[in-house]
Amino acid sequence: MRRPHLRLPAAALCALVLAGCSSSSGSDDTGGGPVTIDVWLMRDSVSAEFQADFLEDFHARHPDVRANVQVQEWDGIGEKVTAALASNDAPDVIEVGSTQVAQYASSGGALDLSDKTAELGGKDWLKGLAEPGSVDGKQYGIPYYAANRVVVYRKDLFARAGVDAARIKTRDQWLAATRKLDQGGSQGIYLPGQNWYTLAGFVWDEGGDLAVKDGEKWKGALDTPEALRGMDFYRQLQALGKGPKDSDEAQPPQAEVMAKGDVAQIIAVPGGAKVITEHNPRLAGKLGFFPIPGKSAGTPGAVFTGGSDLIIPAVSQHHEAAYTFVKELTGDTWQRKLATAMSYVPNKTTLTDAVAGDPGAAAMAAGGARTGRATPHTPQWAAVEAENPIKDYLTAALTGADQKSDDAKASEAITRALNAGR
């Protein structure tokens, strides 16, 4: 599925089609000429400048491979990739949302790259990107880049209320600070009622999950004690602001809400700060970031890791050249450059120092590298998001409906979606 609501700002991409490129059909044996591979990268995943720099270096280092990069739109990409993988004319490398990999791998469309994991430094990959790229113990998706939510806050409102963001290390401290902000003349936090990725983090903090494997089937888990504790914390935090209980962070766009009013903090990717200052230039220099706090001071809160993996279609006739491209783009040198250029979290825990000078990206990396998670690892999770009973559950839980009944209903709906067709 598309990486939901990450909305990371970046310069628009351009397709770089190199003169003299031949078709990517046929085998790697081209009679002495360079092999041309077609690569699909997604809109706004990298800037045009980064793409051009990478390709220039790649072609200089690998003159036997020519890369034809084609930029794809997120809207409708799932159907397009599915059709390409089932055809005889697929591209040779495709960027996909990390949680899409299981769907493509289960259909036999993605190449098994398990034997390349060690060479690519897989032991250091971010858990939230590596796990969705693996199916039945085999690695199909190679982690590309990541992003996750942090707390974006108003420095001036924190100072006015006497709150020091640097001292907020635990969830209890966060609640106390937010309560103080809410009582000090500003809206303590703007947290929409249906921000289910944030709820997932609180549930994970408690040791629970949205769904669990039960034998050969999956079972919704929102009615477990762990999930109920996560929901209780969400309820307490959401009550310290004026966020709507029946919509998510996109309706209305929460960055625009923060720009217009006296909202002290929101939970968003750091790129949201740019949107805020675009709508209210007076807030330039007044926004800060810190990781979502966890239950104890030594561990940040769990966060959903959104981002992309790279896959090589099984039907590609240029597996070796495609792997060379993937190896370079996901290798340490270009991961450091990508993280710096795009304010992403790099794909390895050993590379997070690359964003130490970027406050927003550093706050992301502090959580994503240590406590980043993915949604339940099954190709059927897309069916859950299509129906999304978690959003309805959140609204019901926040509006005082029958909590026990709503927990059970939501879990049952997840169970049905995950086991449909079995």
User: Measured on CA atoms in the order 199, 286, 297, 305, is the torsion positive or negative?
Assistant: positive
Question: How far apart, in whole angstroms, are the C-alpha atoms of residue 304 and residue 292?
Answer: 11
pLDDT of residue 400: 80
Q: What is the pLDDT of residues 347-398, one digit of tens each?
A: 999 999 999 999 999 999 999 999 999 999 888 898 899 889 999 999 999 9
Q: Model's pTM, two decimal places?
A: 0.88
Instruction: Check pLDDT > 50 for residue 6.
Output: no
Cα 335 from chain centre: 16
Instruction: Check pLDDT > 60 for residue 188.
Output: yes
112 phi and psi angles, rounded to 5 deg: -75, 120
- The structure tokens listed for 362 are 């550093």
300 phi and psi angles, rounded to 5 deg: -65, 160
Question: How far apart, in whole angstroms, are the C-alpha atoms of residue 311 and residue 325?
Answer: 11
Domains and CATH numbers, the chain: 35-147+306-373 (3.40.190.10), 150-304+377-419 (3.40.190.10)
- The structure tokens listed for 349 are 């825990």
Q: How many CB atoms lie within 10 A of CB 263?
A: 26
Q: How many CB atoms lie within 10 A of CB 53?
A: 15
Residue 93's closest CA among 52, 38, 145?
Answer: 38
Cα 413 from chain centre: 24
pLDDT of residue 33: 79
Q: What is the pLDDT of residues 256-285, one digit of tens each?
A: 999 998 999 999 999 999 999 999 999 999
Question: How far apart, in whole angstroms, are the C-alpha atoms of residue 148 and residue 101?
Answer: 19
Confidence of residue 2 (pLDDT cuts 50, 70, 90): very low
pLDDT of residue 20: 29
Instruction: Report the mean per-residue pLDDT for the chain.
Output: 91
- The structure tokens listed for 357 are 């000078």
Tell me the helix, strand and coil percentages in the chain, rounded to 5.
Answer: 45, 20, 40
Instruction: Check pLDDT > 90 for residue 421.
Output: no
Instruction: Check pLDDT > 70 for residue 50.
Output: yes
pLDDT of residue 31: 56
